[in-house]
Amino acid sequence: MPKLDDATRDAILQEKSNLTNKQLQDKYGVSRSTIQRIKLPDLESRVSEFTAESRAPDTAKQDFADKFVKTLQQEVNVPTAPLAPLALPQPDRQPIIQKILMNADSFPAHYSFITDRTAFVTSLSEKSALQLQDLLTTMERTRAAGNLAAQMKQVFLVGSRAAETLGARLRLKTQGLADALLQQQQELDYIFKELALNYSDTFTKASSPEIRLATLFGMTLLQVDTRNRIREMKPEEKYDDL
């Protein structure tokens, strides 16, 4: 049987996955054992035939690339003069000082840290505009928290009066509940101040003067109504559960 050339070996190897050994025997006129011996290593042993010839490195291109990299490194390492800091615009000090003094004069109960007004006013002239703005923000937040605490306390006390009246109608002995709570004024003040600090951001709009005025009017109306209802109750209605 003639020896197979490389082209026939390659053709048989490519068609082995599609044709049976019998079909390959009939097509190429070779024996079955010959077809079985043709495997992938036959191509691997001839890998040099399909490998491109190695080219000599282009020294001119390599030299140009090296020079280009060195030039970039020199440009990166060039020392530059430091940039001058940007001058931020400073707010006007006088309007801020006026607002601080208006808060201090109108709501002195909120600012216990102002013990000497003269010394406090003198210290304002020594502060920068940013320091004055921070002080004004702190004073406004302190005032808002104090107002919110007073508003919470008012709602709580009116609610306790209402609970006292409702308890009496339900034949519960709740007379004096609001007065008993009022005897713990200091503890209530601490509690509502702490609540105001915790929820000052949440109830910012609720502490506005308009909302506080409406709340005060509504709570006072309910308080007066409750007091008048208690006065109009008959003696037997007040004490029939005793």
Of 141, 144, 146, 139, nearest to 96 (Cα)? 139
Whole-model pTM: value is: 0.49
Q: Are residues 35 and 148 in the same domain?
A: no
**Residue 232 predicted with pLDDT over 80:** no
Residue 76 located in a structural domain: no
Q: Are residues 40 and 98 in the same domain?
A: no
- Which of the two residues, 102 and 33, has the higher pLDDT score? 102
Taking the C-alpha atoms of residue 220 and residue 205, their distance in angstroms, rounded to an integer, is 21
The boundaries of the domain holding residue 13 are 6-45
Question: 236 or 96, which is more confident?
Answer: 96
Q: Give yes or no for a contact between 156 and 196, defined as CB atoms under 8 angstroms apart.
A: no
Is residue 174 a part of any domain in this protein? yes
Predicted pLDDT at 43: 47
151 and 208 in a single domain? The answer is: yes
Residues 177 and 114 in one domain: yes
Check whether residue 26 and residue 104 sit in a common domain: no
For residues 107-114, average pLDDT: 87
- Dihedral pair phi/psi, residue 40, rounded to 5°: -60, -35
* One domain, residues 108 and 187: yes
The Cβ of residue 200 has, within 10 Å, a number of other Cβ atoms equal to 19
Task: Please tell me whether residues 231 and 143 are part of one structural domain.
Answer: yes
Inside any domain, residue 87: no
d(CA 208, CA 105): 19
Model pLDDT, residue 11: 79
Assigned domain for 40 exists = yes
Residues 111 and 204 in one domain: yes
Task: Examine the domain organization and report whether 17 and 121 are in the same domain.
Answer: no
- Please tell me the total count of domains within the chain: 2
Domain assignment of residue 83, yes or no: no
**115 and 217 in a common domain:** yes
